[in-house]
Chain A
Amino acid sequence: MKALTQMLTRLGRGSLFLIKILAGIPQLFLRFRLVVQQLHSVGVQTLMITLVAGLFVGMVLALQLYYTLSTFGAEDTLGMVVDLALVRELGPVVAALLFAGRAGSALTAEIGLMKATEQLSGLEMMAVDPVNRIIAPRFLAGFISMPLLAAIFSAVGILGGYSVGVDLLGVDSGAFWSQIQDKVDFYDDVLNGVIKSFVFGFIVSWIAVFEGYDCIPTSEGVSRATTRTVVHSSLAVLGMDFVLTAIMYQ
């Protein structure tokens, strides 16, 4: 019972915090420099891991699916299957998990440390609202970065699948692309994937900045909050993915 009350209290605090962040976002367009700086630390620094992971996931998918498809003599559909798997599911989800692990944890740790070293209090005493100046730019940068990272993940994954499927396993290059263009729908598949990644970006960024802002300002508190960010946002991403998929492809 006590745990439930605690959980609900946290959820309420998190929601109020979210409203405060959202209220601060319009002001950010006057100080876009803050957002650009955060895009650098949130987006650019997650780019490398996303590129590498996307490439490997695409290659593995192509290898795995090739052997299954070839038993039906359907190797030519490899491109389509790889593309669909990436664009609908793996791109948004795996990119979001990587994002939570790389950028989300860094966000929580950074904000938590700023709290522990009284930087947030210091800003408040300088009559500067830390939510507007520190939290909102990071949240917005996360929200913008996530769909871009997911798209990069999928695109690189398709190229990885192409290199394995066409160059290594001998699937016809024309069939690879024509099957994709024939069967992958822009609205049903690509656009829904993009919507998913926006939702994931929103959730992960929200959890990350809230955990940082709400943490106990000690080194132990910060490290716990960082762990919680990764665990909670990964679970939230997977849970939300189920809900979104159920709505989108009913």
Chain B
Amino acid sequence: MFRSIELSVGLFVGIGLAALFMLAMQASNLSSFTSAGHYQVNARFDNIGGLKVRSAVKVSGVKIGQVTTIDYDSETFEAVVSMQIDEKFSKFPRDTIASIFTSGLLGEQYIGLEPGGDEKLLAHQSEIRHTQSAMVLEQLIGQFLFSKSKDE
């Protein structure tokens, strides 16, 4: 009798673990950043807007990594963002531009990389020099109104 109890408990725990696995792999973003190797790159921004840790890093719209830490450098008054990039995508020229974009009108913010033309490549722990800050809606509106009033 104890055998059949063991079997049903085994089945129960098995289904439970399978469900957890499904939630982890199939129903969340865990699978997309578990690949083995990656390297670290830093970038400095004047304003990161709504960027968060684990926000996506994309190139040509393809996700290649994620933001790992966000810090503030009180000497230069800049935000320091470090990101992990998958080892598969290791050939980025040193003059690659990192910009903060918003996906869709109200979507989340992500870092978009635009490869430059330098022959030297970005290495582990290197820094992206050319960055473009997040667009902040209020500033845009402000600028728009300001230029409007100058026109008149």
Hey, which bits of chain A sit against chain B, CB under 8 A? 33, 36-37, 39-40, 43-44, 47, 83, 87, 145, 147-149, 151-152, 154-156, 158, 177, 180-190, 193-194
Contact = CB atoms under 8 A, between A and B. Distances in A.
29 contacts: A36-B5, A37-B2, A37-B5, A40-B8, A43-B12, A44-B8, A44-B11, A83-B27, A147-B16, A148-B12, A148-B15, A148-B16, A148-B17, A149-B16, A151-B16, A152-B16, A155-B19, A155-B22, A155-B23, A180-B28, A181-B28, A184-B28, A184-B29, A185-B28, A185-B29, A186-B24, A186-B30, A187-B54, A190-B23
Interface string B6-36: 1011011101111110111011111110000
A152 B30 contact: no
A180 B5 contact: no
A158 B15 contact: no
Interface of B: 2, 5-6, 8-9, 11-13, 15-20, 22-24, 26-32, 54, 108
A158 B9 contact: no
A181 B24 CA distance: 10
A208 to B, nearest CB: 19
Contacts of A145: 12, 16
Given A47-B15, A87-B23, A40 B5 contact: yes
B20 A180 contact: no
A190 B24 contact: yes
A156 B16 CA distance: 11
A30 B18 CA distance: 27
A190 B19 contact: no
B69 to A, nearest CB: 14
Contacts of B16: 43, 145, 147-149, 151-152
A181 B19 contact: no
B106 to A, nearest CB: 11
B13 A158 contact: no
Given A158-B27, A181-B28, A184-B27, A151 B19 contact: yes
Between B6, B23, B26, B32, the greatest number of chain A beta carbons within 10 A of the residue's beta carbon is seen for: B23
A181 B32 contact: yes
- Most chain B CB inside 10 Å of its own CB: which residue of A47, A155, A182, A194: A155
B30 to A, nearest CB: 4
B20 A148 contact: yes
Given A151-B19, A152-B19, A155-B22, A44 B12 contact: yes
Contacts of A44: 8-9, 11-12
B27 A180 contact: yes
Contacts of A147: 16, 20
Nearest to A158: B27
Contacts of B24: 186, 190
Contacts of A155: 18-19, 22-23, 27
Contacts of B13: 39, 43, 148
Contact of B27 (A40, A43, A188, A190): A190
A155 B17 CA distance: 11
Closest 9 CB pairs of A and B: A148-B16, A186-B30, A155-B19, A151-B19, A186-B28, A151-B20, A184-B28, A152-B19, A40-B5
Residue from B26, B31, B54 whose CB has the most chain A CB atoms within 10 Å: B26
Given A149-B16, A185-B28, 7 more contacts: A37-B2, A37-B5, A39-B13, A83-B28, A151-B19, A180-B26, A190-B30
B28 A154 contact: no
